[in-house]
Structure 1
């Protein structure tokens, strides 16, 4: 690898990090959190991505104390977005999962963000540019694959 290649990859890495951060913030701005905190949304997205979890497992995943996570989960349960049930192997523990309303809220938020992005792509990029972007998306996929 030459110095030019190293310089190009370093500049590209910095540009991608900045642009992807800006895109993420813009997508978040399209769907205001409403009455939910960032922590509550993070828990909901965690439960949606994986299987059901306990308060302790969620606290570990989000890097907070179990007591703090307990308060977050309690608020989500009160809103009807998360439900708890007996743990499969330890009946003293409660396993949490998204309720139907929780799944619906996430789907609604995701649809709003994708709608904004689709409208913006059509408005700001010519068809050929959209094709270029589609090829770039495949390259980005290769970056995140294990």
Structure 2
């Protein structure tokens, strides 16, 4: 009896490992396809990360951004300067400490982020609608719920 249980556990573990590998590959492909739908130009990964941080967390100083991104303030200063020149970030004096500058997204940057998300969602909608029948769309909806549980674990 224990041998049967051990074999089943081994089979379940092997299946979970195989699914994990396939899921990683599929999610990577999907992320790549979504990125292709709304290219944000020549921004580096670090620049995109700063913009997304400012969007999610709100205005911040260079020091706060550097800490959040695990980098030196000098390196973050260079990233922020590039984003300011591109018109994506602006700065204002910190009301509580005039030596600090509070950085925030410009309206143009917010529009760019919104348009990018809309383009990615539109592509995904069209791909789902064109390639999956009603039953498959329901299966996908169920799978999304499972992915949410995985992401929250």
Q: What is the TM-score when the length of structure 2 is the normalising length?
A: 0.85
Deviation digits for residues 34-93 of structure 1 (CA, Å, limit 9, x no counterpart): 243332222111111112221122223223332222122112112221111233543311
Flag structure 2 segments of 5+ consecutive residues without an equivalent.
1-7
Q: Which of the pair has more CA radius of gyration? A: 2
Deviation digits for residues 106-143 of structure 1 (CA, Å, limit 9, x no counterpart): 00111111111111111111111011000110111111
Farther off after superposition, 76-85 or 131-140: 76-85
Q: Does 1:126 align with 2:137?
A: no
Deviation digits for residues 4-48 of structure 1 (CA, Å, limit 9, x no counterpart): 121111111111111111111111112223243332222111111
RMSD: 1.8
- 5 Å matches for 1:35-46? 35-46=42-53
Q: Does 1:14 align with 2:21?
A: yes
User: Structure 1: which 4+ aligned runs deviate by more than 4 Å?
Assistant: none
Q: Does 1:54 align with 2:61?
A: yes
Q: Residue 38 of structure 2: which of 27, 31, 36 is its match?
A: 31
Q: Does 1:85 align with 2:92?
A: yes
Looking at structure 1, the residues matched to 117 and 32 of structure 2 have their Cα atoms a distance apart, in angstroms, of: 14
Flag structure 1 segments of 5+ consecutive residues without an equivalent.
none
Looking at structure 2, the residues matched to 99 and 61 of structure 1 have their Cα atoms a distance apart, in angstroms, of: 20
